[in-house]
Amino acid sequence: MHKIDIELVEMTMDIMKYTIDRISSTKHKIGKPKTAEELKKLVGETVTEKGVGGEHALKLWKKHLMKANVPIDHPRNLAFVPAAPTRAAVMFDLVVSASSIHGAYWMEGAGGIFCENEAMKWIVSLTGLPKGAFGVFTSGGTAANLSAIVTAREYWRSLDDDNKTRKGLIITSIGAHSSVKSMAKVVDADVLFVDTEDKMYADALQSKIDALTIDDRKRLFAVVATGGTTNAGIIDDLSGIGSICENEHLWFHVDAAYGGGALAADSVRHLFNGIEKADSITIDPHKWMFSPYDCGAVIYRKPELAKKAHAQEGSYLDIFKDEGAHGFNPTDYQIQLTRRVRGLPLWFSLAMHGTDKYKEAVERGLELAQIAGKLIEEKPFVELVRAPSLSCVLYRRIGWSPEDYTHWTYENHGKGFALVTPTKWKTGDSFETVSRFCFINPDTTEEDIDMILDSMK
């Protein structure tokens, strides 16, 4: 397995050919979903005592397995938060794999970590956080949110011994991403919700805090605001919320996993004012900074607090912390020990293209949302649920039931035409099923949007 022979060399060529074709493709298809049973029938037994051979396995991948995936970078994949990694970043992801770098400690990964840090400096500069603020790349927004919450909780515990036995409490809004609730579960904290899926304003947060019992107020250690909600692209009142957190001595975390890329866009940067008051921020380069999966980031106003919370101890790790191994150790600032230098594809793409190209590509996503808004207003059978926000557009097909949306999604997916999924929007006490676009990919065209809308006729 670890020897080089002619078979391996040929396999390398085949794999390179496959990746070159894929990277340079402009016509990849939206795959058709299949059940595990159907896939098994198509490919048979692949993991056997003697192996089926690389050539055969690659053939199965190309012929059957790849076709059952939806490429996240398809221009008509507008579901969830899609992605559109740059070709430069995808290519360099291959280099990351081929280079076998351990990205936990400087001692082993100095060259890779240096590059990650160069990319990180740019991201941190977008936030306006003061000097000293810094971050690390994580496996995604969920891991970044968890790393930030653990840091906040450990800091709160360090302030008062009684906090060590208290169950923590976090306030966020119902517009916050599901990972905030899940990660609160991981740290065994309770979550209290400001009852809005729309923008969370400072006064609503203050009322929530003021209504707490004395005991619950003691349990409260953090507020999570969102810089671009997943469902609708809404940015909370970051400035007002930041000021409350400062006055109330609460950790202020901004989850900008999706919206963070828009910090690079001059046209909407002002909407994020107040983000510079944050104690920690989540931004996912694998969403709107055009990195391949997986690449999230967590940034701290005071990284030393994260280090206190996350640095792992073990006699086998001592050498990495020795003077002789001096350098920045990404593992100390988030939950993971062994890590891929997953910020490296972003670094290469930034170095190749420059940050202006990133601004342009993000602006295009914002523009596509406005274009979609206009098209929706022009067509009599659809209407906007709310004005487009960042690159999210919520709209309804007049007269449709929830089942109609589901059926339409399956039909378009099954045809390999588009992936646009329904969501729910809360007005008052009721939830309405609506359709949602999220634009990330600058290759999406007005014609794509028009065709998708017309398929609802």
Question: Could you give the string, one character per residue 73-112, with x where binding to ligand PLP holds by CB under 6 A and - elsewhere?
Answer: --------x-------------------------------
Run of H or E including 37: helix 36-43
Q: Is 141 in the site for ligand PLP (CB under 6 A)?
A: yes
Question: Could you give the string, one character per residue 157-196, with x where binding to ligand PLP holds by CB under 6 A and - elsewhere?
Answer: --------------------x-x-----------------
CB atoms within 10 A of CB 83: 22
Q: Rule CB under 6 A: choose which of 86, 117, 127, 142 binds ligand PLP.
A: 142
Residues 207-266 that bind ligand PLP (CB under 6 A): 226, 230, 255, 257-258
Buried/exposed 126-146: b ≥16 CB within 10 Å, e otherwise: bbbbeeebbbbbbbbbbbbbb
| 337 close to 331: Cβ distance less than 8 angstroms | yes
Stretch that binds ligand PLP, among 111-119, 139-147, 186-194, 240-248 (CB under 6 A): 139-147
Q: 226 or 391: whose CB is closer to ligand PLP?
A: 226
Question: Could you give the string, one character per residue 288-327, with x where binding to ligand PLP holds by CB under 6 A and - elsewhere?
Answer: --------x-------------------------------
Q: 227 or 373: whose CB is closer to ligand PLP?
A: 227
CB of 435 to ligand PLP, least distance (A): 18
Q: 146 or 456: whose CB is closer to ligand PLP?
A: 146
Angle at 54 between CA 53 and CA 56, to 5 degrees: 70
Cα 166 from Cα 215, distance rounded (Å): 9
Q: Rule CB under 6 A: choose which of 75, 109, 112, 140 binds ligand PLP.
A: 140
Cα 311 from Cα 316, distance rounded (Å): 13
Stretch that binds ligand PLP, among 121-129, 141-149, 187-195, 385-393 (CB under 6 A): 141-149
| 147 close to 334: Cβ distance less than 8 angstroms | yes
What is the secondary structure of 135-159 as a DSSP string? EEEESSHHHHHHHHHHHHHHHHHHH
Cα 395 from Cα 420, distance rounded (Å): 12
Q: 200 or 375: whose CB is closer to ligand PLP?
A: 200
SS3 state of residue 27: coil
Which residues fall within 8 angstroms of residue 351, CB to CB, at 6 or more apart? 118
CB of 145 to ligand PLP, least distance (A): 6
Q: 58 or 174: whose CB is closer to ligand PLP?
A: 174
Q: What is the DSSP letter of 419?
A: B
The two three-digit tokens of residue 454, written as one number: 């017309």
CB of 200 to ligand PLP, least distance (A): 13
Q: 101 or 144: whose CB is closer to ligand PLP?
A: 144
Which residues fall within 8 angstroms of residue 262, CB to CB, at 6 or more apart? 228, 268, 269, 271, 272, 288, 362, 366, 390, 391
Q: 257 or 265: whose CB is closer to ligand PLP?
A: 257
Q: Which residues of this chain interact with ligand PLP, rule CB under 6 A?
A: 81, 140-142, 145, 177, 179, 226, 230, 255, 257-258, 284, 296
